A = this chain, B = another copy of it.
Amino acid sequence: MAPLFIALVHYPVLNRIGEVIASAITNLDLHDLARSCCTYGVPACYIVTPLADQQALSHRLTSHWIEGRGGEILPERREALKILKVVDSIASARQDVFARTGKMPVQWASTARKENGSLPHAAARKILEGDDRPFLLLFGTGWGLVPSVFDECDAVLAPIPGAGAYNHLSVRSAVAILLDRLLGGA
């Protein structure tokens, strides 16, 4: 079974009008992604932001639960948040996967948009089950990853199919659903 790493990318992503921005850290993204990753056995979840103040904010928000009083009250939250690692770029996340596993990861991206040639979730699950290379799955915040990031990925996962045309899940929900589809039990 291949280890699947997750990265929540705050740069480079698009804003509502298609500009490239660095989006802001959201406290509940950190908690929800950490808890989902811990549930599905993800070894590390990278919080990607090049902004020093946003990196400091991430550390402040998580240290309350890891070293501070929060972890005494809720030890299971400490366990989850320890999975997060703040890095300055996708390249740094890849280097960290290499440092942990000895291999550079296969890189996948997620998107809410229909793309030609996207990888169905059942096929992605089969690949993970039959591979021993590490995988890094990118999630974009804001209005999604910039096109050049998709170009650098080995595959783009199919969007999550709902009941109709509405495709505006929160990134917290999208991470939870995709981890369940790729790694969840019956």
Contact = CB atoms under 8 A, between A and B. Distances in A.
B172 A32 contact: yes
Contacts of A185: 161-163
A10 interface: no
B40 A163 contact: yes
Contact of A176 (B120, B168, B173): B173
Given A36-B169, A122-B186, A160-B184, 9 more contacts: A32-B173, A35-B173, A39-B162, A39-B166, A40-B163, A41-B162, A76-B168, A170-B172, A173-B176
Interface of A: 16, 28, 31-32, 35-36, 38-41, 73-74, 76-77, 79-80, 120, 122, 160-164, 166-170, 172-177, 180-181, 183-186
